[in-house]
Amino acid sequence: MGWEHEQVNAGFVAQLRQACPDESICFFADAGHLRCVNSIYGLEQGQVRACATSFPSKYEDCKEEARRYAAILVQILNNAGPDLTDVFLLSCCDGIALAVSALAPRYKVRFHLVFHARLERMLNRERRREQLFRQGEDPGEPTRLRTILEQMDDRSVELICYSPFYRRYLPGYLAPACIRRMIFLHHPFVQHAVTPTRHENAGLRIGVYAAAANDNACQVVRAVAERDPAGAVSFALLGGKQNPLEKEPSVERVLPGQRLSAGDIDRFVAGCDFILVPYDHTQYHITASGVFWDAMRGHTPVFSLGSPYFRFYEPYGFGVVEDSPEALAEAILRQAQDPTDFTKGINELLRACREENLCALREHLH
């Protein structure tokens, strides 16, 4: 898994522990993922037992993938003992959903399935709903995510998504009974004390993740450079290999070509005045953004485009949201000349989202 899964899974385990301080928690993952999550949220200090388990990668045949996941889940369930009450399956994929649909009626536990891009693709009104599962029980009939979710045992399966405003999009796409058993959380996060790292450039330094350096980012960087001959604004490009932004004079490469650790991310964010999140409404309609939450955890404001996801959090005042790259470039130049402090808004966003997540988890688990 990449850094974004490590961060969000560590955040979920941390907030689950805070919501349920007296419960016994075991975290099953492959050994590499356990090490990464442990580096972000100390599992032992949180009294979370780490259990190294080999999970299958995704296979072409979804039914075969489901059988593999089912075999692993059965082993975990049978060894857990009679006190097991809840099973959380993070980053739910095709095979997990099908495996749980078969296992749920057989076990007296509650399953909680976390979905990310799967619901995004199902709900995106601008494209045809993707056939997420190639085959169902009848090889001639395609199985959609909606069918899988609605046919699950509603007494023992709950769904989790990391976008609270999914709720407004769901009617008409999922049955009401399915919506009622969905837990809406903000993107979970582990919050650490952050010490900003002063960079050598005295001007405004804006961080860009290479993974997020899309056409919008290129337009923003070039528009700023054209209007900023004095070089009051500079950009730092994190990670990645070849990238069109690296040719821009105002862009500095940071850790190019390397696999980024959680520590690399935190240090990069701490050394920037802002993070650029260049996703518009066609790219990040409702799915959570790991880049955005990296910035928030690091108390670093963002410049972002007008995706509904960022508009949802805009009232907190976490930074600047504009609807076009040109408008965002102008906002960056204004910030360089007349700085605005967004610290209060970021602190309030983190406080509110953490408390709402803990309340939602306690409500559904007790």
Could you tell me what percent of the chain has a pLDDT over 70?
Answer: 85
Q: How confident is the model at residue 17 (pLDDT cuts 50, 70, 90)?
A: very high
pLDDT at 255: 92
Confidence of residue 120 (pLDDT cuts 50, 70, 90): low
DSSP string, 205-229: EEEEEGGG--HHHHHHHHHHHHH-T
Confidence of residue 334 (pLDDT cuts 50, 70, 90): very high
304 within 8 A of 178, measured Cβ to Cβ = no
Q: Give pLDDT, residue 27.
A: 95
Torsion of CA 142, 144, 147, 148, to 10 degrees: 100
Quick one: tokens of 241? 């290999």
The larger pLDDT score, comparing residue 245 to residue 1, is at 245
Q: How much is the mean pLDDT over the chain?
A: 85
Higher pLDDT pick, 254 / 131: 254
Q: What is the pLDDT of residue 24?
A: 94
- For residue 304, what are the β-bridge partners? 277, 321
Q: How far apart are CA 240 and CA 249, in angstroms?
A: 18
pLDDT band at residue 131 under the 50/70/90 scheme: very low
Average pLDDT over residues 3-12: 84
Instruction: List the one residue out of 154, 249, 254 whose CA is nearest residue 199.
Output: 254
Give the model confidence (pLDDT) of 230-268 as tens digits.
Answer: 999 999 999 988 888 988 999 999 999 888 888 899 999
Residues 152-187: tens digit of each pLDDT? 767 788 889 888 877 887 787 778 888 888 899 999
What predicted TM-score, i.e. pTM, was given to this entire model?
Answer: 0.88
Cα–Cα nearest to 163, from 311, 344, 7, 362 = 311
Predicted confidence (pLDDT) at residue 113 exceeds the cutoff of 50 = yes
Tens digits of per-residue pLDDT, 48-100?
A: 999 999 887 665 567 778 888 999 999 999 998 889 999 999 878 778 888 99
Cα 273 to chain centroid distance, Å, stands at: 22
What does the alpha-carbon distance between residue 236 and residue 206 come to, in Å, rounded to a whole number?
A: 6
The pLDDT value given to residue 65: 82
Rounded-to-integer distance, Cα 293 and Cα 302, Å: 10
Q: If you average pLDDT over residues 311-331, what whole number do you get?
A: 96
